[in-house]
Amino acid sequence: MGKKMGRKKQKIVLPPELPPEIPDEAVEVSDEDMQFVSENQEYTGFLSNLDTKTINKQVTRVADVKEDELESLYERRLKKQSLVKETEKQGLEVDPVDALPVKTLDGKLHYRTVPKATQKSENNDKDEDNTNNKDAGTDASVVKRTKAEKRAQLKKMRKEAKKQSKEVAAVEDVEQMPQAEVMDEVRKDMTAEEVNEKKKFRLAELGTALLTDPELNIKSLKEMLEISKDGDRDIVVLALKSLLAVFRDIIPGYHIRLPTEKEQEMKVSKDVKKMRFYESTLLSAYKAYIQKLIAIEKQDVYKRFAVRCICSLLEAVPHFNLRENLLAAVIRNISSEDDISRKLCCATVKSLFTNEGKHGGEATVEAVQMIADLVKTHDCQLHPDSIEVFMYLTFDEDLGKHESQDANNKFKSKNAKRKNLKEQKELAANERKRTRKEMMSKTREEVTAELKAASLATDVTERRRMQTDVLSAVFETYFRVLKHALKPRSEAGSSPELAGSHPLLTPCLHGIVKFCQLIDLDFMSDLMNYLRKLARSGNDSDGSSKDVSACLTVSERLQCCIVAFRVMRNNLTH
């Protein structure tokens, strides 16, 4: 008895459940399986002689257990499984035998689960089925799904598996794409900010390389110009600013003359070829840059910025090529309605007048002539600042004295030459007294002195010519303004932005007072006649009224009187 009591009760382990019965119509057989069976028929013959009933009976049988006890054990297991399914909170897992698993990209298997909502509905259906089964005298835990339900579930699982396999195949196709296509996709997905940051960084690299070694990196100017064609305003402004800094630094101090066709056909050294390539590339990029500035200057968004760049470039390199294009853009905005643009342009013109050493006076002549044409085109209806810049012009008043002195110097030099010739003849007669070396040194000194005198005479003559052109353009503008002031106000017209119908009269009178001592005496009578007509009273000596007096106000007529007196005084003193 003690041995029997000490023995433990043997635990009965039930065999696993058999897979559900699937009809032959629901089984899908691939072509590969059919081919494998047809090629290995000698190994598949035993399948036709299998006794499935005996095998199932052997599998479900448990040793040393009676059939009644075995049936009760199966019923307990079913009840236990149903209780576990009811207590699940997150979801109800489908039996792995009835559902196909889904394999993820990392190689893990996942079985599908039923959501909570469906779980509740299924529980409700089960409760209803249980009540019905209880009434019928059957146990709800023993009820199984029908073959039609299993078949529908299998079809659903297969569709989801196919869908998942297609997604995996799409991912594999993306992985197998060429590197160029992948890079294109990545570029498309990049944000605009990242692209702009790359362009800014590239501009910094190119600008630094050009400032470090312009001759080696001169081709970088073309890439910077391409970046300036971007649609983003910040990138355009940054690119044009970078180009402005580069051009101001690398532009040489001379005017570039491109070689002619004959010069290009000639054989030259490598250094000359390199220099020609550098100068041609620089000049073409500079031309494209100026064209870009002039084009965007017409847009309101870039107007002030473009005007600032043009003025800065003209003020920095007035001696370089394409000065006429920059100067035309500046003069066009010298009477602009925008105060900032107008002041920038006026300051640039004043800088050209006061710093003639940068351009030799040529830019001054061009600027004055352009202003005179602008006054003529707009019929004197411009902002006063447009001719007020003339006050910054400088003229050499004693240039005539220098010319007379130069003439005396030339006369003296001729006499000296004659004396030198006599001395040379005497030296020829007395060759024994002087050596040939001394004679050659004497001749070199004389030739050097003559060349210096000739160069100075040419500079003075050229400066005299340029100043004469400037002075004639200035007084042409002044006389045009005085003549326009004689018209009645109805004919002269008025601009709402400008004060009065004669906005240029006041700066014109100030300029006449400053430069009246330089005017030719032939024009002095015409000048005084204009001033007399503008300053006279409303009635002539015969009592007839004139429309001329209606052109000017009292203060303007008083200014004309004061200018006339100052002109007479300056000419009398001179």
Find the length of the chain.
574
Q: How much is the pLDDT for 3?
A: 45
| Angle separating helix axes 436-485 and 362-377, nearest 10 degrees | 20
Tokens of 313: 């470039």
Q: How much is the pLDDT for 207?
A: 92
Tokens of 490: 């109805």
Q: Which residues contact 331 (CB under 8 A, 6 or more apart)?
A: 345, 349, 367, 370, 371, 374
b/e map of 195-220 (b: 16 or more CB within 10 Å)?
A: eeeebbeebeebbeebeeebeebbeb
**Residue ranges for the chain with pLDDT beneath 70:** 1-22, 24-26, 44-48, 50, 55-70, 83-100, 105, 110-145, 167-190, 397-440, 442-443, 445-458, 488-500, 537-551, 571-574
Q: How much is the pLDDT for 119?
A: 45
How open is the CA angle 20-22-23, to the nearest 5 degrees? 155
Domain ranges of the chain: 185-359
Q: How much is the pLDDT for 532?
A: 86
Q: How much is the pLDDT for 402?
A: 47
Query: pLDDT digit string (tens) for 459-506?
Result: 778 888 888 899 999 999 999 999 888 876 555 444 434 444 788 888
Q: How many angstroms separate the CA atoms of 318 and 310, rounded?
A: 11
Number of Cβ atoms within 10 Å of the Cβ of 486: 16
